[in-house]
Structure 1
Amino acid sequence: MAYTMKDVAKRAGVSVATVSRILNGLSGYSEETKKRVNQVIDEMGYQPNAIARGLISKKTRTLAVLLPEVSDLFASEVLAGVEEEAHEKGYSVIICKTAKNGVRTMKYLQTLRENQVDGIIFMSETLTKEYYEAIRKMGASLVLVSTRSDYDIPYVKVDDRQAAYDATSYLVEKGHRSLGMLSGTEGDLIATVPRVAGFKEALCDHGLPAEEHRIAYGDFGFSSGALAMERLLRRVPDVEAVFCASDEMAVGALSLLHRKGIKVPGEISIIGYDNTRAAEMAFPPLTTMAQPLYQMGKKAVDIVLGHRSAESLLLSHQMVERETVGQR
């Protein structure tokens, strides 16, 4: 049987308003009354309704994360940080996996408005005007992760262009002169464009060719990494080192090279991006440019809950050296 607040109040011999105040941590009752009401709640197994409580406290203690169909390993690292920080602060997390056409995103935003979530973490996707207006109308706080927008919304991310530049320069410093790149979705302004820009800029600064045919596009995933590596080998048969826009693409490239009998790093060096668990589990273990994914999730929660200044954060990237890059 599902008990109501009215049932709790009747058994405890107090008003419904008193039960509500106790549940929401408000004042106006004795310690004895509080103990009696909490005892009745335990005995009855009463579960307070978050929406009903929110009508008084203006808080449902729930956060939502909206993320597209991105790399599952990438997302899981960020979400681990989000959930850890949220639960430490007494919040629950709703995860909404959106689609590219925007229809599902708008449906989720309507549902989140009806459920009166306190904050939204918007991840790895473009914040369109339609999304922005819907979130603004619901009054929930908002923070972006691994993306930024033209609106005055705080974000948490790394400098993708600089990270790609540093990864490419690392390969050059190891003596490689014929470089290629496996990139994410062509035209994607969030991750693809800045990483391609960093790759090309590094090559130009080191006096190396930065032709477009040295870039093979995919979708950040394992299968597309293998397919892109196949295309790159046809276009640049003398390629010595490859910068991959994600660890999963890099692992796909490693798989393709293994099937072809091409040694890594003996014949071709490979470097990834993100430092997900895939990088550690790869064979050979993948050298990669690390994003602090777990910390990005934790800091996003701090910002969206107002525990940290609502200013954007550019976090540091760093090289994690393993076994897929050799010295020429």
Structure 2
Amino acid sequence: MKTRSDRKRRVSLGEIAEAAGVSKMTVSRVLRGSGGFSEETRLKVMREVKRVGYVPNRLAAAFGTETASTLVGVCVPRLSSPFFGQLLESVDRSFGRLGYQTMIGSHNMSPGDEEIWLRGLLSWRPAGVLLSSRQHSKSTLELLGDAAIPIVEFWDLNTSPLDLSVGFNQFDSGHEMGRFAISRGRSRPALLGAIGDRPGRTKGPERFDGFSEAMRSSGVPIITVELLKDLPGFYAGYYGTETLLQRDKRIDTIYCQDDTMAIGALAYCERCGIRVPEDIGIAGWGGHEAASILSRRLTTTAVPTHQIGKLSAEHLVGRLRGEPVDDIAVVPTRLIPGNTI
């Protein structure tokens, strides 16, 4: 990715007008879809718009000026996610303190949805953008390259970021839990996750890879895996645990994709008289608030959502102000031993 100074310069309305041989007002009318011009003129203007990759500036249209933007776009997988809800609160509060406003969207782990959101955002000429995904479409990369604005990829750590990265390593998080399970004498582990309507739409499998590698390196293979075509949640954890234990009664540990599924697993075990951790161990991920009120402390991994949000905002604004900022900021997760393994 090019540096900010190397990225393509933004094209003005006047340059489009000059190239098309018409007035700025005519270009403006064409882009607004109003009347007062011929079809030939419209085609000439749109040909130039397409050639230079021009994105209309809605901010200037609304306020009649090209003043510096204080708008920052933030895109996350799901607005309903408890993890990203906390993170967005931190991001919004941090940007507000620094004199910026946020425009929030979601991409549902789809590069295509992210691209659509980004196209809409760029028409408002944002000062910068925060993206929670590391997987981007070719068109998204081109849009970002042309935009000449700071980019922070947050949540999943990217060691080769487009611009800046703030987050943690999913694989390492799972690997740490695997080593912990081994230290507790667990030898017949299973994995329980939910991948939505197609694989790759969650980050659970990356954590599972880390957990599995820790187990394999100690001579303990994963004996079974259940990846539900559902969103992670309490009920998914409940019936997923039922499915696993009906399939293989040798299981002595279930590593769940997140805490909501782990809480569902605990509920199933309690209903069936399965003792935790004596008969089976349960581990989650995320540090969900609901886990703090259980009768026994859940073994899980706490994610510093507020710190990730705060650092992401501060690093982007630091870049805007020309201050020295680390390209990569690692915010480590923390394993909570609990007493469910």
Relative to the length of structure 2, the TM-score reads: 0.71
Residue 188 of structure 2 is aligned with which of 157, 175, 178?
178
Residue 153 of structure 1 is aligned with which of 160, 163, 175?
163
SS in structure 2 at match of 1:284? coil
Per-residue Cα deviation, 1:213-252 (whole angstroms, up to 9, x for no partner): x222134333332232222212331222222221122122
- Residue 209 of structure 2 corresponds to 197
Instruction: Specify whether residues 205 and 104 from structure 1 end up closer, same or farther in structure 2 by C-alpha distance, changes over 3 A only.
Output: closer
- Residue 300 of structure 2 corresponds to 288
- Residue 139 of structure 1 corresponds to 148
Cα distance in 1 for residues equivalent to 2:64 and 2:220: 60
- Residue 264 of structure 2 corresponds to 252
Preserved contact between residue 77 and residue 132 of structure 2 (Cα < 8 Å): yes
Matching of residues 109-128 of structure 1 within 5 Å: 109-124=118-133, 126-128=135-137
Cα distance in 1 for residues equivalent to 2:109 and 2:333: 28
Preserved contact between residue 184 and residue 191 of structure 1 (Cα < 8 Å): no
Cα distance in 2 for residues equivalent to 1:146 and 1:134: 21
Cα distance in 2 for residues equivalent to 1:203 and 1:80: 36
Cα distance in 1 for residues equivalent to 2:194 and 2:64: 42
* C-alpha deviation, 1:173, in angstroms: 1.0
Preserved contact between residue 154 and residue 312 of structure 1 (Cα < 8 Å): yes
- Residue 250 of structure 2 corresponds to 238
* C-alpha deviation, 1:58, in angstroms: 2.0
- Residue 315 of structure 1 corresponds to 331
Q: Which moved more, 1:124-133 or 1:165-174?
A: 124-133
1:279 equivalent in alignment to 2:296: no
Preserved contact between residue 64 and residue 120 of structure 1 (Cα < 8 Å): yes
SS in structure 2 at match of 1:146? strand
Instruction: Specify whether residues 275 and 54 from structure 1 end up closer, same or farther in structure 2 by C-alpha distance, changes over 3 A only.
Output: farther
Cα distance in 2 for residues equivalent to 1:84 and 1:314: 21
Cα distance in 2 for residues equivalent to 1:103 and 1:175: 44
Cα distance in 1 for residues equivalent to 2:332 and 2:74: 23
Per-residue Cα deviation, 1:248-287 (whole angstroms, up to 9, x for no partner): 2212222222332323233222111111313224443322
SS in structure 1 at match of 2:285? strand
Counterpart code for 1:162:
D
Residue 82 of structure 1 is aligned with which of 74, 91, 114?
91
Instruction: Specify whether residues 189 and 195 from structure 1 end up closer, same or farther in structure 2 by C-alpha distance, changes over 3 A only.
Output: farther
Q: Which moved more, 1:138-147 or 1:242-251?
A: 138-147
Preserved contact between residue 242 and residue 270 of structure 1 (Cα < 8 Å): yes
Instruction: Specify whether residues 180 and 54 from structure 1 end up closer, same or farther in structure 2 by C-alpha distance, changes over 3 A only.
Output: farther
Instruction: Specify whether residues 285 and 274 from structure 1 end up closer, same or farther in structure 2 by C-alpha distance, changes over 3 A only.
Output: same
Relative to the length of structure 1, the TM-score reads: 0.74
Instruction: Specify whether residues 77 and 167 from structure 1 end up closer, same or farther in structure 2 by C-alpha distance, changes over 3 A only.
Output: same
Preserved contact between residue 124 and residue 190 of structure 1 (Cα < 8 Å): no
Counterpart code for 1:268:
I
- Residue 266 of structure 1 corresponds to 278
* C-alpha deviation, 1:50, in angstroms: 6.4
* C-alpha deviation, 1:81, in angstroms: 1.9
- Residue 66 of structure 1 corresponds to 75
Preserved contact between residue 150 and residue 163 of structure 2 (Cα < 8 Å): no
* Structure 1 residues without counterparts, runs of 5 or longer: 1-48
* C-alpha deviation, 1:204, in angstroms: 1.4
* Identical aligned residues as a percent: 22
* Structure 2 residues without counterparts, runs of 5 or longer: 1-57
